Amino acid sequence: MSGRHVTQADRTIYLPEAEFEEYDDGLPAPGAQLDAINVSAWFGANKVLHRVNLAMPPGIITALIGPSGCGKSTFLRILNRMHERVASAQLAGEVRLNGEDIYAPQTRVTDTRRRIGMVFQKPNPFPTMSISDNVVAGLKLNGTKVSRGERHQLIEQSLMRAGLWLEVKDRLGSAGGALSGGQQQRLCIARSLAVNPEVLLMDEPCSALDPTSTRRIEQTILDLRDEVTIVIVTHNMQQAARVSQQCAFFLAESGTPGGIVESGATDQIFGSPVDPRTADYVNGRFG
Amino acid sequence: MTIGATLLPEEQPHGAQPEQPRRIASSLHPADRFFRNSVRGVGIFVLLLVVAIGVFLGFQLVPTIHLYGWHFFTQAKWLPGTKTSGILAAVVGTIEVAIIALAVAFPLAVSTALYITEVAPPRARTWLIAGVDLMAAVPSIIYGAWGAFELEPHARDLARWLSEYFGWLPIFKVDADPHAAVWEKSRFTSSVFIAGIAVAMMVTPLACAVMRGVFAQAPIGEREGALALGATRWGMIRSVVLPFGRGGIIGGTMLGLGRALGETVAVLLIIAPDFGIKIRILQTGAITISSLIANFFGEATGGQLRALLAAGFVLFVMTLAVNTVAGIVVTRSRSGSATEL
């Protein structure tokens, strides 16, 4: 297992060597480096996350796994400042996007959220907007003006990247709400991609979908791997194994806040986990 | 017995006989039957009451038309003791007061509702909701007195300013000498404009309550979807909350319109009766249907009384039409709501 660091809860993890080799052409890896440093979170007086450290490098897909209520979704929402939408929510620590703290006072929350996109558990296209308006909704919301030609190009390109173009190219004007669940989810991915984010967070994007749609989304995720840093929360062990290159196992033991028990390369987490709790979880013995 | 061979011969479907849906009848528990019959009785009674009021008022129209002819609808002046009374000025005045009330109440109601649901911190929200509900509970005579004594001096100044700078618009024109050494205050008092503002205070909480309810239901998923794209709060409101709440905005406004059309006491206290058909909203004097009835009901007898009730019928029909449209708009769901997963 050369080049693979097995890490403990309070340590940053490192890339498997094999993953670096793909970018040895001298070009910078697309996407951005996202680092969580000592992230803790509370809802009111209830502490839900304790000192989470995780490096999410560009060019690889990071999966967050763990049983329900272990804080992985909270952690994901902290990564693009959706956490603070809840009135009683608080946090400690830092989240660095390319080295800069996204919670720094001079950082605009709208800029951060544009740079770090999010796809939700339940597909949430704007139901009354057409498919193409859905795709470019982010531009309108950000106040970005584009010409007609650019707009069309962006719609086509975003839908292609999300693997939806062929299915909807003849009905771009129909309502986004009229698509199937899996198509809606890929429309949401296209919508996120259209604002050209550096990181894409996905919160159980397939849990409301059938197996075929799940396959399509997973393929889409793998295709996007080289374009944007991806962090995905999933309850599905097979999915984590199929799409991710690194994995972080979250656990909240009774009465304690959640945290990372073990993180590392996906093969290692699934093949030879260090912590017995990780082994139990990935082998389906609890959770 | 093996799996798959569990049907008894007589239970097997007969191919020849067409299938009929089964009627499902079940006898109700006495308590359920009692409850159902009593609430049904009350519901039917309420419906009958509304119909009875309408029929009673409608029947007054027959002798009224007989007495005054169709001029009842086209004659502006109400002339007690003559055979030429009409309600046109009152109908026009009613509509004018209602439009002014809505023009003031609509922006107030939308922004208050948006502030309460989208911006206000939770504690302020509770107080604001209580405050707006309290506004709805204030008796209309209080608004009338407030309008006549507190609002009028200020509204008069505003009216003067409007007529000075926008007097070239017919609705803001006032018959007053703009170069008079002392401006003619009495020309600007007791107007449709001031009555409309007072009525707006009564319409706002009603419209606001409906809008607030609908805005608060805008799906959290779509809100977060917009925010996660980097939307500003206003961007999110514009792309998610307002499109979702369109039905509530229209419906709440229409309900407010129904209220504004029928408002009596506040208008009675503020406007000076005047039967001219005019669109000069800033100038003294006007009449509305309800203030007409309130003004003349005391001394009316015979045909006059019937005519006033017939005027009430006209108002009843106007309000009913507005409320029906409002009801349809509020209950009709938006186009995208059927696509929930």
Strands A199-203 and A34-43: unpaired
- Please compute the mean of the pLDDT values over residues B111-137 and round it to a whole number: 92
Contact, B86 vs B76, CB < 8 A?
Answer: yes
> Which stretches does DSSP call E strand in A11-134?
34-43, 46-56, 61-65, 89-97, 100-101, 116-119
**What confidence score (pLDDT) does residue A3 get?**
43
CA distance A283 to chain B (A): 31
- Please compute the mean of the pLDDT values over residues B96-123 and round it to a whole number: 93
* Residues A181, B232: C-beta atoms closer than 8 Å: no
Classify the complex by whether its ipTM is higher than 0.90, answering yes or no.
no
- Please compute the mean of the pLDDT values over residues A58-73 and round it to a whole number: 90
User: Is the pLDDT confidence value at A7 over 60?
Assistant: no
Q: What is the mean pLDDT of chain A?
A: 85
* Residues A127, B230: C-beta atoms closer than 8 Å: no
Q: What is the mean pLDDT of chain B?
A: 85
* Residues A175, B122: C-beta atoms closer than 8 Å: no
- Please compute the mean of the pLDDT values over residues B33-52 and round it to a whole number: 95
More confident residue, B328 or A103: A103
- Please compute the mean of the pLDDT values over residues B276-297 and round it to a whole number: 86
**What confidence score (pLDDT) does residue A249 get?**
93
Closest C-alpha among A16, A63, A205, A55 to residue A122: A205
Chain B residues whose CB is inside 8 A of the A141 CB are 226, 229-232, 235-236, 239
**What confidence score (pLDDT) does residue A21 get?**
42
Using the 8-state DSSP alphabet, how is residue B119 labeled?
I
Using the 8-state DSSP alphabet, how is residue A266 labeled?
H
What ranges in chain A are assigned the alpha helix state H? 17-21, 72-79, 109-115, 131-135, 137-142, 148-161, 165-168, 181-194, 211-224, 237-243, 266-271, 276-282
**What confidence score (pLDDT) does residue A216 get?**
86
**What confidence score (pLDDT) does residue A240 get?**
92
Chain A residues whose CB is inside 8 A of the B229 CB are 113-114, 117, 137-138, 141-142, 191-192, 195
pLDDT range class, residue B10, cuts 50, 70, 90: low
Closest C-alpha among A224, A159, A166 to residue A151: A159
CA distance A208 to chain B (A): 8
**How does pLDDT run across A134-191, given as a tens digit for each residue?**
999 988 888 788 888 889 999 999 998 888 899 998 999 998 888 988 899 999 999 9
pLDDT range class, residue B6, cuts 50, 70, 90: low
**What confidence score (pLDDT) does residue B3 get?**
61
d(CA B112, CA B209): 9
pTM of the model: 0.80
Nearest CA in chain B to A109: B230
**How does pLDDT run across A227-246, given as a tens digit for each residue?**
899 999 998 888 999 999 99
**How does pLDDT run across A208-231, given as a tens digit for each residue?**
888 888 888 899 899 888 889 999
